[in-house]
Amino acid sequence: MAERDWICCTTNRTRWLVRPDLRDLLLGADGLLLDDWLRTGRADRVKHGPHRTVYRVRLPQIEFFVKQNRLVDVRSRLRQLVRPAKSRIEFEKALEISRRGIPTICPIALGEPVTCLDRADSFLLTENLAGALPLSDLIEKILPGYSYRRQVRIRHQLSHDLARFLCRMHDAGVAHFDLHAGNLLVRLSADDVPELFLIDLHAVQVGSPLTWRQRRENLVLLNRWFALRVSRSDRLRFWRAYDRQDTGRNERALLVEKATLASNLDFWRQRDRRCCATNRYYRRVRAAGICGFAVRDLDTAVVKEIVRDPDALFDRPDCRFLKDSPTSTVAEVTLRCGDGWKRFIYKRFRVKKWLDVYKRSLGHSPALRSWIFGHGLRERRLPTPRPWLVLERRCFAFRGTGYLLTEKLEQTLDLRTFLDAASTTVRRELVERIARLVWELHRRRLSQRDLKAANILVKAQVNGEASDIWFIDLVGFRRHRKLRRRCRIQNLARLNASFHNSAKLNRTDRLRFLRTYLQWGLRGKTGWKRWWRQIEQATQKKIDRNLRNRRPLA
């Protein structure tokens, strides 16, 4: 439907383009009937932010979405002086993309300010795609509930259809620079054949067919999400369906994978700062001599109570102490969260020497480091308990005692205890899972200098198998631009030292761990003996050092 076929009218300094058959249904004398729909319960808000709100409207005749774009700051107002309103841009892109044969949103109305000097909001109304849901929801929430055979069938079909969809899109000259699984809708037919749609078109550019470099950049954006959630086999199946040239196809696939990892590393590095600022996920908290951060989910009253006296939680009658040493105190406490009560782990990082105050002032304190890496690991899809609150006692630039509140993991055992009680089959499977997890940790350029069995928790199923694994005690974590071999050897040796006197974990299990960590099936066996010898040497040095210092080796 061309723009000239739409009805044009003006209400309250807003110019409207409406599909002819929906004019009286959508607009009244004062403009869009959104307030009436909200009042009668026919509209509900599905997304909200300072710059944009999205509503879903259900009328007897039609179901559609309303996207309301606002001018929230000087930058957005100045931008509108030199370009059309956001809704107008997305409206025109939707029509152009549809004209090029790419399935996308179907506009039914557009509202924009009469002149560029008006501060009125702009509106884009799009018809609801019945039965369609974000691709991210299908993969993460819907597919796990299907039978194994159906999951495999849908994954295989989806890999091919998504590749063909992107190939058509790129051949048509459409590039989406915010391309992720949430901006692709999928609708499954009765026989599980997927139908894909492109949405959220504000970051779309339309032009001539994309070059290889432009295609690679666009595929890297999409692969950033899939590389963490989809198997290597499914990604390879997608690539073979997308790249139809046999010559150099594998080399191009490797380039995309390497560029994806580099892009994710930069993305994660930027996101690590988010937990130390005030935004929609976190907030800064302050009191006399105390400052810190809390997640938005934690009740404000609870935060104020803790900030008023962080040590008071340890005096509660329901507080159960797990550890109390000169350097730290760990306890289990119960706090109100939402409509109920939730168990948390509360840790106090004491200052043992005055030198520690100066050290903490030069960098992140142990509490703040645990807070940053707790959210950083979860952002990288590495398992760790969620931190809820971090506090520090401060005097000018000097940092003193720190406090960290994290979620409580129920029915877990540390890795050494679990392996000692596990059967041979469960032990071998868990050894391989831990090896893959440590490899993923190092692949994401993170290290844990205190990677010991006591800092890895395992949850057992009813049949005795391991269901979940978590990293805890994140003080020893570090982020690297380039993770060197010596650091990786130290991490592996520290974990190996936790089992130096274990009767359950034999040399075969240790070799199985190393084989999985080095990915023999993908990279071959070359050099594994050198890794083995270096890990053994570093392990023995760690054992000897602890014996000299008369420290137990956990």
pLDDT of residue 354: 57
- What is the domain partition of the chain in residue ranges? 3-127, 133-271, 280-407, 416-454+476-548
Task: Name which CATH class applies to 3-127.
Answer: alpha beta
d(Cα 175, Cα 203) in Å, to the nearest integer?
8
Task: Name which CATH class applies to 133-271.
Answer: mainly alpha
Q: What is the dihedral of CA 226, 229, 231, 232, to 10 degrees?
A: 40
DSSP lists the bridge partners of residue 134 as 185
pLDDT of residue 146: 92
b/e map of 159-198 (b: 16 or more CB within 10 Å)?
Answer: bebbbebbeebbebbbbbeebbbebbbbbbeeeeebebbb
Phi, psi (rounded to 5 degrees) for 520:
-55, -40
d(Cα 292, Cα 216) in Å, to the nearest integer?
41
pLDDT of residue 3: 59
pLDDT of residue 72: 75
For residue 505, count other CB atoms closer than 10 A to its CB. Answer: 20
Return the structure tokens found at 467.
Answer: 């269901």
What's the gap between Cα 271 and its chain centre?
10
Under a CB-based contact definition with an 8 Å cutoff, are residues 79 and 42 in contact? Answer: no
pLDDT in tens, the chain (554 residues): 555 678 888 887 888 889 888 888 888 888 889 989 999 999 999 888 788 899 999 998 899 999 998 887 777 777 777 778 888 889 999 999 999 999 999 999 998 888 777 777 889 999 999 889 999 999 999 999 999 999 999 999 999 999 999 999 999 999 999 999 999 999 999 899 999 999 989 889 999 999 999 999 999 999 999 999 999 999 999 999 998 887 888 899 999 999 999 999 999 999 998 999 999 899 999 888 889 999 998 888 899 999 999 989 999 988 999 988 888 899 999 988 877 788 999 999 887 765 665 566 666 788 899 999 999 999 999 999 999 999 988 776 677 788 999 999 988 899 999 998 888 898 999 999 999 999 999 999 999 999 999 999 998 876 666 678 999 999 999 999 999 999 999 999 999 999 988 888 889 999 999 999 999 988 888 889 999 999 999 999 999 998 888 888 77
Under a CB-based contact definition with an 8 Å cutoff, are residues 387 and 404 in contact? Answer: yes
pLDDT of residue 469: 93
pLDDT of residue 13: 80
d(Cα 210, Cα 42) in Å, to the nearest integer?
42
* Segment holding 487, helix H or strand E: helix 485-497
Closest CA to 244 of 156, 192, 170, 185: 170
pLDDT of residue 361: 60
Under a CB-based contact definition with an 8 Å cutoff, are residues 105 and 94 in contact? Answer: yes
